[in-house]
Structure 1
């Protein structure tokens, strides 16, 4: 199938799911047609004869502007508007992108098949190579830069393999490298890209068909939304070609009826602004946006005429970046689970009674079993006893004539609670027994043991049912019996028991956090103590656990929908203390945590790397590099300092 036919087929399919661009005239064909021919405001228009097929206006050293152009035959040239060359770099380059402050430029060496990042010294008249990436094993259609709110720098390379390859730029002081982060699927015909730095949006233009938007943050979904399309389904005439974005507008070339279209990003989505017609015989091929003296300059390269049209745009006030949750960074991650897809789910930490640095992290694999890791994240053991979902630990039991500790987990394969003995000397787990339940879809789980009392387990069902079991974990045959049943209105998963205060916290995914007495005779009525407010706690509420500090105890919850974690006082009135995210740690080569299911907090001193304990979380989307899921560990002091906890 030809590339054009691919594009048109994708266009027809994309129309079925259009959620993108609106115009002030939606629903009024006559007004919409008038809008489509509305001339964009341009303060000045002229033509430039420059080398290359891509060019940018950049700030000169004495004010005014100079021009950077690149091309496969011309290399990179820094020159004045009248053609005086200030610097020349004899290297076959394609594509050109920059950051809004003009501090960095990106191109692709078509001969060496390598991306290059470089800077300009306009005073000295020099082009300075900052980074030369490795040779790509795929053809590159375009490159674009993205700097996020934490100043992390990324390079996107749009490949002929129908993927946008996102790379993290690491290093400093002239020693830079590219680290693969993830690959986003792009449509056939997706040949052009641009990034809105303010909103963190990656745009991809499917030639003569559709413009799509992706979230440029590496910890977000790979899904895309439609921004606008070719006629008759959209505003883009014969269809989009090259495109460029600043913090205000997205500019899109149309070749059939030579034009530059403008789309503004708003809180509610994208709004079509209108178009600027180019010369009727023009063959617009590339478009760039540069900044000089506070002015915005669009440069459109005419492939047939071999020259540029420069459009000086009115100044526009950039929108403020939306307020974001603060971030901490993980300092350790486990090996990935071997099962692909949504597999890793819930962690727990077993603290070694004599040598805390020998403690273990248990991690469920809801496709296969239970993984056991050391504090460096290396896997020590795997027990493949089914689709183990949520796990918890407690201390003090007996098995085979020796004192052991207990791990227990819900098993979705057998509909049971799996009971494991943790042998303290060997740090090995042994599956002891399976406690049957009559839950239809067994799901979440947590343990409870009041001081001097028996061990209990709480297992829940996706329908909201909670069953409490008294567990017998002495001797060679461990067992359990149900002693109470209660419910919440909709699907739960996470729960955690406060052994000291004899209360149970349960998460209702779409509503918030409830509390109920943890003893069998404490009734069946729960109380909502932390509703989803979209300020501290967001949907879906997943993992819950308690950090027991010297002065205060804290309840920690994961919110899957926006990759965040909420912290509350664990005692009435359960005051909200703040929320945070776990971001990328480039120096350690550890990505952030997103779409988290379960978590576990411990205040035990686990050695020099975790003197105040740790928060362990499941990472639902592993990147840098992209792969199967795993678990991340954050030193608790980082959270304490961030949220000003005691």
Structure 2
């Protein structure tokens, strides 16, 4: 169900698809794959495993963000979502620093809190002064949650500063919240011209992306207001003249999760999971452009209600060649000269694709890599949901910067219990792999 517009909210509907690194790095830490396969990099550390079951606290690793401590880079933090497990904060050794529970359900029959994606805002003006914030999408309550970052605060670096009166992002009432077509993917953006900070939030099982202006509230709290909403396409005209939509459960539309904003030009990149990567203005004006398609684009499918899976038909050959659905985990890798890459997690083949950030080059594909096991005890990344890169020195452990990626299948496993965590990769290895 679509949320009604207000006087301050405009819905734009798109109905068709449009068409530091110079530091030396150890050569043995990355290598090229076999013929036809991408280069391989290996992680240096991993966080403790999370289990998505009653015994593990229903914690499921999803999306990370890297906060750099400018005064002491070696004491920087990784802040990550654990869905119903709330938030986790790690140091650069991947050791837990703080755990924050997701908010409880509003009532006995209501959905509990569930933190999906996280991003950072630096120097947001609050009623009590400026502060760095971690912002997370609470899918369970259809809200954004805000946490002030104070590295040396007793009890942990994060403090909840969410305005209790912050509104639902998409839902009109608790019944709609419980349907869980709620706040899902998340990216933050600060407009350099005005200094205003925003969050861009996608909607689960829908194609919507909404722009929220972040606002100070009383007592150092944070709230937001809707500026405008845009709907990406749900059906697509194929080159043979037929109409196509990706297979899914009845009533579900192709959703967006992975998103990131390039601060150099105010460009939003959004991964529509079964479609590809869109490029559009972060203020949600103008016309979106489809930068790349997943391999499965255009493949027909039939949903089986008994197995809850789709049976694909013959591939007509209209898809891309570099990413496989789902496409998630978008992040930016910025180089010292201002250039760099858009990185995207290609869940279908457990790789990462890199695209040039130059709009004039139409975000040309620059290569890819895979995060592979470093040892029997330190595995790689599979079906990566979220990723974050920071190309800045982070003390002695990561002098070339850091890439953090979610691992959807941590190994060695623990029987039949779902096991996930985050891998820490020396960013210098990634730059070297992409430059080879």
Question: Do the two structures share a fold, i.e. TM-score over 0.5?
Answer: yes
Which among 375, 383, 387 is matched to residue 599 of structure 1? 387
Q: 1:437 maps to what in 2?
A: 169
Q: Which consecutive unaligned segments of at least 5 residues does structure 1 have?
A: 1-149, 151-320
Which among 201, 217, 227 is matched to residue 459 of structure 1? 201
* 1: CA distance, partners of 2:125 / 2:160: 13
Matched, 1:421 2:421: no
CA drift of 1:414 comes to 0.6
Q: 1:162 maps to what in 2?
A: none
Deviation track 1:577-603 (CA, whole Å, cap 9, x = no partner) reads: 11111100017x310100110111111
Tell me how many residue pairs correspond in the alignment: 325
CA contact (8 A) 2:62 2:83 kept: yes
CA contact (8 A) 1:404 1:424 kept: no
Which among 355, 359, 373 is matched to residue 568 of structure 1? 355
Matched, 1:351 2:92: no
Q: 2:228 maps to what in 1?
A: 484
* 2: CA distance, partners of 1:545 / 1:474: 30
TM-score by length of 1: 0.48
RMSD across aligned positions (CA): 2.4
CA drift of 1:506 comes to 0.5
Matched, 1:372 2:89: yes
Q: 2:24 maps to what in 1?
A: none
* 1: CA distance, partners of 2:389 / 2:167: 26
Please say which structure displays the higher CA radius of gyration.
Answer: 1
CA contact (8 A) 1:390 1:445 kept: yes
Q: Give the secondary structure class of the aligned counterpart of 1:643.
A: helix
Q: Which consecutive unaligned segments of at least 5 residues does structure 2 have?
A: 1-30, 103-112, 172-180, 234-253, 296-319
CA drift of 1:553 comes to 2.0
CA contact (8 A) 1:347 1:362 kept: yes
Q: Give the secondary structure class of the aligned counterpart of 2:431.
A: helix
Q: 2:288 maps to what in 1?
A: 526
Q: 2:412 maps to what in 1?
A: 624
* 2: CA distance, partners of 1:463 / 1:408: 21
Alignment of 1:214-613 (within 5 A): 323-340=36-53, 343-385=60-102, 386-398=113-125, 401-426=128-153, 428-433=157-162, 434-439=166-171, 440-451=181-192, 452-461=194-203, 462-473=205-216, 476-489=220-233, 490-519=254-283, 522-523=285-286, 525-533=287-295, 535-551=321-337, 552-572=339-359, 573-586=362-375, 589-613=377-401
Alignment of 1:179-218 (within 5 A): none
Q: Structure 1 residues 338, 378: closer, same or farther in 2, change over 3 A?
A: farther
Higher relative CO (Cα under 8 Å, sequence separation at least 6) belongs to 2
Q: 2:251 maps to what in 1?
A: none
TM-score by length of 2: 0.70
Deviation track 1:447-503 (CA, whole Å, cap 9, x = no partner) reads: 011225211001111211001100014752311000010022222111001122111
CA contact (8 A) 2:127 2:217 kept: no
CA drift of 1:612 comes to 1.7
CA contact (8 A) 1:450 1:500 kept: no
CA contact (8 A) 1:605 1:611 kept: yes
* 2: CA distance, partners of 1:474 / 1:595: 39
CA drift of 1:333 comes to 0.8
* 2: CA distance, partners of 1:322 / 1:574: 25
* 2: CA distance, partners of 1:578 / 1:493: 22
Q: Structure 1 residues 400, 381: closer, same or farther in 2, change over 3 A?
A: farther
Considering fraction of residues, name the structure with more strand: 1
* 2: CA distance, partners of 1:414 / 1:339: 19
* 2: CA distance, partners of 1:487 / 1:348: 26
Deviation track 1:118-153 (CA, whole Å, cap 9, x = no partner) reads: xxxxxxxxxxxxxxxxxxxxxxxxxxxxxxxx9xxx
CA contact (8 A) 2:382 2:408 kept: yes
Q: 1:117 maps to what in 2?
A: none
CA contact (8 A) 1:619 1:632 kept: yes
CA contact (8 A) 2:190 2:197 kept: yes
Alignment of 1:61-72 (within 5 A): none
